[in-house]
Structure 1
Amino acid sequence: MTEVVLDAVNKVYPDGFHAVRDVSLRVPDGELFVLLGPSGCGKSTLLRMVAGLEEITSGDLWLGGKYANHLQPRERDVAMVFQNGALYPHRDVRGNISFPLEIAKDDSPASHERIVELSRALGIEETLDRSPSTLSGGQRQRVAMGRALIREPGIFLMDEPLSNLDAGLRTELRMEIGALVHTLGVTTLYVTHDQTEALTLADRLAIMRRGVLQDVGTPQQVYDDPATMFVAAFLSAPPINLFKTGLWADQEEGIILGLGNQRLVLPWTDPRSPSLVSHHGKYITVGVRADALRPAADGLIAGRVRALEFHGSEWLAYAEAGLPHVDAEAPYENEPAWTSPEQRPGAGQGVLRRLLRTAGILADEPAPQPVQHDGHHRRSDVVFRLESRAGVSAGQAIRLAVDTDRMLFFGDDGRRIDPVRR
């Protein structure tokens, strides 16, 4: 059994840069685990620490149940494929794939047969006698994978192996990588910044930001139920709508969300209400994906269509609705000032207001005024999907219904307010 366990792992460089912060992960035997995040988030550094190419500053690494902090790379039973393939130009394809076997002095007939079988699985059997210079980018990456896999490592590490390929080759090779890894059953850590790659390949994935682990789960879990605002925004194409809103708990109506000059009400029967009520009188961020909005005559959000984009199988529409957008990367500082009780997005709190104050949940401050657009370079558009543009044109007034069950709620620390379901 070759599982990978990282326990509170840190990487601090001599100049003081903290590249990886207290990361704890467990990758079971045979799992294809993807490390996802933007450039500079620490995912490649984490992979290199597993490989033994970077020293762990603090924390523990276990490989196959064996403490591995002190082990040299050759002692870790890992194989790694880099972004550029890095083939030996003076060797043909067969010579590149067989190189690890030559180092191990394995010249058995079985090993030669394994080269042919692996090249067949990778779709490069006909290139075995060719020079790397005559191969396409996709073929070179397949050869690099074959060289890494030929000695049957316990752990397979891949550092953005498809980033230098064009879109068509990425799609083709991505499918082959997933099928090959699962066929071989080798524990695999795969680094990428491409969300499509991560969602289509991974058994599970971890999302990182600035060296900090943000979320871990299956692709479906982290997409549908993200733990942080950053994860919700990063795993979103088109970009998720993020609105800053004031929240007020009303005894009669429920949870009232002030969206610009508009308001949306969640009834007390909504299972998220107990979590949201603790943010009574505060600002929160609401996330709504484009496919959770649809035009409807009785829709809760009113606006005007600014632009339409054709994307082949669908249209994207952009509507100006006066809603204050939030940048998922922006620090949560300098919150807007509080306003008078008369301007709150709800009135007549009565018994509930007194109970909340008695329980220490509600302070005496009035509810926040819905935030107005502050002239940031990003337009305050609401993005929504259309199967057809029939009946929708730029400049027309529109109302949008919201699938409230799919709304996401984030606090001022960027983390989910309602419990994340895993």
Structure 2
Amino acid sequence: MPLPLYLLAVAVFAMGTSEFMLAGLVPDIATSLDVSVGAAGLLTSAFAVGMIVGAPLMAALARRWPVRASLLGFVLVFAVVHVVGALATSFLILLVTRVIAALANAGFLAVALSTAATLVAPDQKGRALAVLLSGTTVATIAGVPGGALLGTLLSWRSTFWVIALLCLPAALGVVRGVPARVGRTLPGIAAISSLRNEIAQLAMPGLLLVMLLGALVNAATFATFTFLAPIVTDTAGLGELWVPVVLVLFGTGSFVGVTLAGRLSDKRPALVIAVGSPLLLLGWIALGVLATQPAALLLLAFTQGMLSFALGATLIARVLYEAAGAPTMGGSYATAALNIGAAGGPTVAAATLGAHAGDLGPVRVSGLLVAVALLIALPLLRVIAPRPGGAVR
């Protein structure tokens, strides 16, 4: 894989750490800013909503800009709003900073995904996506648990300062490692591909189908991931310092899952979908039953991270394949699919926290969402992952 892909993954690591770190900070933020845990959890949804809106908007604005300038600008804006977030004294200000950060993140990821597709062979989009998403999975392994630990030992504000600092080497990596024009440059593509034609690709049933499935699986992932901290401390009865441990296990599993997806999603996507979907559903059911057992919780945190990201990354790779007719906007469609799920999952899960299900309500939501995805995907497997000749891969 080309070196610029790995440098882009460094920036994705910083942004992924910010996006996911609230999973370990929700209780602290709620106490500090005098809001409920459910309200604090909605900061994740606010970020995801900004990503949904920002992905197509920023991609449309940046489609004629130089690639390096676009990526650098998004990283610097991301750093500045985290400084403001670290100084925030009200929940509303923090919420606004999360939305702006999401817009910058969305623009960066949309451009990065579209750029990645121009750096590799047409049949290696899944591998390119896996390299970029490795930044996200490393964030769940090291960045997110580290943020949770830092928040426990110091305060949640310290994690925002660290994210701002992480953006500096990410910006340097963009400047030093990403040429102003890479591969088939986005401005060059934009000249021969009208925005109207690229948006019209959204009318394609195959593209809409894989976007829907990707959103459902990601919603299931974030429904539980956002509220893992109370499950660890209240349901399993473990101490607060166990929260980073569980997050590390989930992140390690996600890295393994993305690595597997990178090897299989280009050649054997149907295998990942047909096998991974039922196993993921069984895992959420098992977690709902066994979360009170610490050993089971630790094991399932790893397996659910692995299965969620293997399946999710494969479906998002299918979005890039189906959006081949939208070379500058395809990355934004993949980003939007990911974050529709990231917004919807925690929102629905938050509504279950005060219900009879208690802390395990999010786990039940995850299981239901994967069940819906499974019912849609398996009968339409030949549509989702066809061979060039028409057979299932």
Band the TM-score falls in, shorter-chain normalisation? under 0.3
More helix per residue: 2
The higher-RCO structure (CA 8 Å, 6+ apart) is 2
Q: With the length of structure 1 as denominator, give the TM-score of the two structures.
A: 0.21
TM-score (norm 2): 0.22
**Structure 1 or 2: larger strand share?**
1
